[in-house]
Amino acid sequence: MIFICSFYGYLLPLITPILIMAFAIQYWVDKLNLSRNYSSPVDMGYHLTEFTWKAFEMSLLLFVLGHLIWGNYFYEKL
C-alpha cells in the first residue's frame, strides 16, 4: 500500500492523504470483521500450526531455487 502512495503521489499530490485515510479505514473495517464475524470458535490445534511453519519453510526454499535457476538464466548473457 505504501508503494501505491509513493507511485501515484508524484502524479497527483492530493491523492496521498486520501489514500492514507482510505487505507486506515480499510484496516479498521478488516480488523473488526476478522475479530467479530469471521473468528473461528473451533480450535484448529497443533496440526495447523505445523502445516503453516512447513509452508513458510517451503516458500523460502522455493524462492532460493527460483533465484538460482532464473538468476543464472538471465545473467549469464551479460
Residue 21, all three cell numbers:
485515510
Angle at 32 between CA 31 and CA 36, to 5 degrees: 120
Phi first, then psi, for residue 76 (nearest 5°) are -75, -15
- Would you kindly state where each structural domain of the chain is located, as residue ranges? 1-39, 41-78
Closest among 45, 49, 69, 67 to 57, alpha carbons compared: 49
> pLDDT tens across 5-45, in order?
666 666 677 777 888 898 899 999 999 888 887 766 777 78
**DSSP 8-state code for residue 35:** I
> pLDDT tens across 42-76, in order?
777 888 889 888 888 888 888 888 778 877 777 76
